[in-house]
Structure 1
Amino acid sequence: MIKITLASGSPRRKELLASLGVDFEVRTKPIDESVGDAQPPHEAAQYLARLKAQAFEKDVQPHELIITADTVVIHDHKILGKPQNKAHAQQMLLALSGNTHEVVTGVCIYYQHKYEVFAETTQVVFKSLTTQEVNYYIEHYQPFDKAGAYGIQEWIGMVGIERIEGDYYNVVGLPLQKVYTRLKAIAPEIWG
């Protein structure tokens, strides 16, 4: 029987994976998540997802399937990470205001000594946000654990996003359709 491990501390990823109807446990290991300038922005999420999976390589249990993921926000060919403080969050959100950016989630599935690494990209279009809207969001939602300083499922997504092109769940943190398709191909017995 396959044991599924989600190697992510993200409560959003935990909720999303649970919604696929699979039993899993959460285990995390700290890794250095910095990516150098040599890493192309669109490849960073896959690189980090694989790095997170490699941290489990030495102590993976028999029949254990590891799922890792990393989400990056790319604006103006640069990665916007998690904001360091309120001023940094404000700077990020004002940069996204009135513009289109990309959200890339890289996923790695490690099973039976094989890595399956893939990514999903979603285009997100923000309306022009006022400084008051940005400050309200930061004060009430504290988006300091979110790439790009926002969560699409929160207030700012409801009032600020004009449209998206691509997978909504990808922006939340896990491209569910692709994850389901890959898991079903790798281990169809998961869904009996």
Structure 2
Amino acid sequence: MKRHATLWGAVTLLAALPALAQDRGRTDGPEGSEYGKGGYEDLRGGRFSLEFNWGAAVNAEEPPLGAPEGPPLFLGLTASFWGDDWYQLDFSGSYVLDGGRLNLMVGPRFRTYGYPLSFHLGIRAGAIYMPEIGTRFGLSPIIGADVLVGRGDNLLLGLSYSPDIPLPIENDGENLSHRVFMSVGYRF
């Protein structure tokens, strides 16, 4: 009798094993047809981030007389919408202290899949206001690296380079500005 109880106990435990070994749900069918535990995972962190940027901003030539004078530094703020871990849409504003240049830009940024270190490349377009000239349309490519740290990977630390190119470009790129900067942000 004891052997029959052991046999039935083993059969019962073996029957339950497939339920315990279930993998993540499948996502190869039409939307909404997933079964099991579900196949989609939430992004690390959230869909939005806010970054404070600061660093060096070097103008290609001295600002003209009458333009604000200051150290070769800039301050900026970037708000981003994360479409996925590899794609962001940035809304950026920055102020260059030497010359009083103000940039208001929008554009995509693409990130590598590295974790926690990720490299990024993007381009922003928008308005560049220069006190001596006025407002111009401009481009600002960006290249750099950032690290996701902290609990839940919500804290962003980055290092980037971005030239500001107001169009049309004047003789020998006189109105260009080069920025090398660090950023600290939070993803929520």
Q: Give the structure-2-normalised TM-score.
A: 0.30
Of Structure 1 and Structure 2, the greater strand share is in 2
Of Structure 1 and Structure 2, the greater helix share is in 1
User: Quick one: higher RCO (CA 8 Å, sep 6+), 1 or 2?
Assistant: 1
Structure showing greater radius of gyration is: 2
